[in-house]
A and B are shown apart, each in its own frame.
Chain A
Amino acid sequence: MFESRYRDKKYLSQYSLSVELFEEFNLKVQDVIPIRNVFILCTDKGNKILKKIDYSINDLEFINSAMKFIKGKFSRVFDFVKTKDNKIYTIFNGDVYCVMDLIDGRECDFYNAVDVSIAAKGLGELHSAAEGFKCNINNKVVCGKTIDKFNRKLEEIEFFKSIANLHEHKNEFDKVFLDNVNYYSDLIKKSIEILNGSAYYKLCSEEDKVVLCHHDLAYHNVLIYNEEAYFIDFDYAIIDLKVHDLCNFILKAIKECAFDIEKAELIIKDYCSNNLLDKREFEVLYGLMIFPEDFYSIARDYYTRRKEWEEEAFVERIKKRVLNKEDKEEFLEEFKKRFCID
C-alpha cells in the first residue's frame, strides 16, 4: 500500500538529528520522517528536506551555482535554505548538511502516459534554461568525453570477462554474464562506431547543444505538481550534450514497458515542444541509446564489489536485464527507421 521508506536505513542512521543542527538553519523541528536517503523535516517554517552530503563542498557549490543559473529562466527546481551565516551548508560533527524546501509534488510514474508527457515537456524547458551554463570543474564537464568513456568501459567489460573466466567454479552470475558478454561487447563497439561516424564532436562544440544535464532522471527525481514537472536532486549533474540526458530519460521511462517505441516517440515530441533537436542530434541519441548501460553497470557493480547487495540480488538483476535484449533490439531498429538514421 505504501512504498517502503527504509531502504537506506544504514545510511540514514549516520545522520545527526540534533536540535543544534536544525538551529544552524534557524528551524524549529517538530517531526522528522525518513524518505529514501534524506529526512523530511516538519518545521515552524514549513516542510523541508535535510540532506547529508557525501561529496565535496566544491561539488555542492557547483550545484548551487547551477540552480541559480537555471532559476533565471526556470523556477521548478529546488531552493537551498540558508544557514544563520547565509551559507547553503553547515558542518556538524564532521559531516556536511544542507536543507532544501520540500516540493509538494508526487513522484513521476513512468507507467503513466500523462506523467511521462509532463516530465518530457519539463525536461525540454529545463534544458532550455540550462543552456549556456559554464563551469571549470573538470570532472563535471563530460562534453566530448563520451567516446573515450565508452572505449574505457569496453576494456572494463573485457577485464570482467577475464575475471569470470578465471573462476574455476563459475557461479550463476558468472554464467549469465559469460553467456551474454560477447553480445553486449559488440553493442558497445557498435555504439562507439555510430558515435564516431556521427557529428558528435561537432555538436559538442555548438553552444546550443550543450547544457547542464540532470544526469539522474529517475522517476523519484521528477515530481509532478499542478500538472507541471519539478526537478530535484542534482547530485550527479554534469555539463554535456542535452541528448545525453534525453537518452537516459527515454530509456528509464520505457525499459519497464518492454521498450515501447510509441512511448519514446511521444517523449521526443513532448520534449521538442519546448526544445529543438536536429537530425545530427538524433543520430548521436541513437548511438548513445545502443550502449548497454544496464548490462555494463550490473557487471561493474558485481565484479568491483561496488554495492553491498546479496548474491541473489545481483543474479536476479542481471537475469532481468538480459531478458530485455530482444525488446531493446526491436526498439532500436524501429527508432532508426522512424528518425531516418542512415
Chain B
Amino acid sequence: MAIDKAYDSLLDYLDQNGIRVGEINTVVNYRDITEEQALEQLLIISEFHKKIIGYNGYMNIRLDNKTGKIVEQYKIYNKKLKRDIKKIKLNKPENQYEELLLEVGDLYLDRAEASVEEIYKWDYIDLISRSMQRVEICLGCTDFNNIAKEEGIVISSLDNCCYNMVENDGVYLINKLKKKGLTMNWENLIYKYCDFEGLEYKSAKFISGLVSYPYEFMKCCSRYRENKKDWDELKYKQKLLKIIERDNLT
C-alpha cells in the first residue's frame, strides 16, 4: 500500500544516511541526567536533523507538516484563557477550580502572552520561511528513550516525525527535562543547541520564548473548558496546584 511504501522510503533514506530505526539499548534514568548529557543529547538531535534535512517524501506522500502550528495553538490558549478569566470575574467563581484560576490566572496569562510576544519580536515569520526553504524535519519526540547514539544514531519511533522548525526538537527536550524537575542552565543549553544547529541569535530567543510558555497550565485550563477529561472540579484544581508547585521548583 502507498503508506507502507512511503514509510519504507523514509526508512531507506534514513538508512542511507546512517540512521537505524529500532530498539534503543541505552537505558537512561532521568533523575541522574547531567547538563553534560543533556548537551550531548542536543548534539545528537542536531546530527539527526542534518542527516534528514531535505527529505521530500515518496511520490506525493509527505510527512505531516507542523510548521508554525505550536505558536498558533499557544495564541488560541491565550485568547480563550483571557475570556475565561473575564467571565469568572464577571460572574464570580463557581467552584474551587475557578477560585484558583481567579487567583493565579492573570499571572499565567501575562506569562503566556509575554512568551508569544517575545516570539514575534524576533522575526518569527523569517524563521518559518527558513525552515520551509531548507525542508527541515523534526523528530517530534527527542527524549533519551527515542533518540540515542550507539554505533550510529538510533531512533526508536518515527511516529511524531514531521516537517517543522528544528528549534522545536530542542524545545521538546528542554521542556521534558524541566518537567522532570531537573535544574540546569537552560540558557546555556539553548545557545549551545543553536550553535550545534548553526542557528542565529533570533532562534535562541524563539526557543526561550517557547520554553517559557506555561504550556502545562494552559493545557489544563483548556481541558477544563472543553470538558475533555472525566475529571471533576477538584481534580482540575489539584492538577493546577501540582503544575504551580512544579513551576515554583523550576
Contact = CB atoms under 8 A, between A and B. Distances in A.
Interface string A321-337: 00100110000000000
A42 B60 CA distance: 11
Main secondary structure of the interface of B (DSSP, over half): helix
B159 A1 contact: yes
A111 B161 contact: no
B6 interface: yes
A111 B72 contact: yes
A113 B129 CA distance: 9
Interface string B49-89: 00000000001111111111100100110011001000000
Interface string B74-118: 011001100100000000000000000000000000000000000
B19 to A, nearest CB: 15
B151 interface: no
B6 A2 contact: yes
A208 interface: no
A106 B62 contact: yes
A35 interface: yes
Contacts of A109: 65, 67-69
Contacts of B159: 1
Interface centre among B72, B75, B133 (most CB of A within 10 A): B72
What is the interface residue range for chain A against chain B?
20 to 34
Contact of A33 (B60, B128, B132): B60
Interface size class of B (residues with CB under 8 A): 20 to 34
A112 interface: yes
A317 interface: no
A33 B79 contact: no
A2 B59 contact: no
A33 B161 contact: no
Given A35-B60, A42-B59, A114-B132, A5 B65 contact: no
A321 to B, nearest CB: 13
Contacts of B2: 5, 33-35
Interface in A6-57: 33-35, 40, 42, 47
B160 A2 contact: no
A135 interface: no
B59 A33 contact: yes
Interface string A144-161: 000000000000000000
A277 interface: no
Given A114-B128, A260-B79, 6 more contacts: A1-B64, A33-B59, A107-B65, A111-B67, A113-B128, A323-B226
Interface of B: 2-3, 5-7, 59-69, 72, 75-76, 79-80, 83, 125, 128-129, 132-133, 158-162, 226
